Structure 1
Amino acid sequence: MEEYVYIDGKKYRRGYTTGSCAAAASKAATYMLVTQRKLESVNIDTPKGIYLTLKPENIEINKEYTICSIKKDGGDDIDATHTMDIFAKAEMIDRVNEGEDIYVTGGIG
């Protein structure tokens, strides 16, 4: 993403939030778990309506779970998570008689 925003006449390169990274990593990990195929990129729409195409990294795929990460890019307004890998793990679990098809939880961190 090479978008810019102008603040007080100054040009700043936009980045994306840690939440966008987490959403993209979760989407990618889930897709790769179901398909058992590596993704080169994943697309998400942000709450502001910005379309992002991000690259999953640190990919680990097997039958029980998939892990991947998205590298955080804070743009010109960097924060403490800038350049960190934001991870997600999708896993198949036995949930007999619990009435839910998909279960989302938070991880460590």
Structure 2
Amino acid sequence: MGTLILLTAEAAHEGGFGLNFNILETNIINLAIVIGVLVYFGRNILGKILADRRSQIEQAIQEAEGRVKEAAAALAEQQRKLAQAQTEAQRIKANAEASQTAIGSTR
């Protein structure tokens, strides 16, 4: 722990951090190999995962579009029933007014 503090103090005293250009010490070769292997094998795995996810999303969109069509059909049916009910209510109201007029005129 004392050595770490000493090294940190020396680095701060000498002007901060520097770059290490020694390839063997910095493990650039090892990192390049690991990254290359990840890219080579990960590309296929990631491609499959993304293709599966895309098909799931497309299926969900199609299901949602189907539900929208069903909801629109149900809405149209209910609007048709509402119009019929309003027409029936107007007919009943007209009959009631006619009956009231008929009863009122007979008295």
Between structures 1 and 2, the one with greater strand share:
1
TM-score, normalisation: structure 1: 0.24
Q: Which has the higher contact order (CA 8 A, sep 6+)?
A: 1
**Higher Cα Rg, which structure:** 2
TM-score, normalisation: structure 2: 0.24
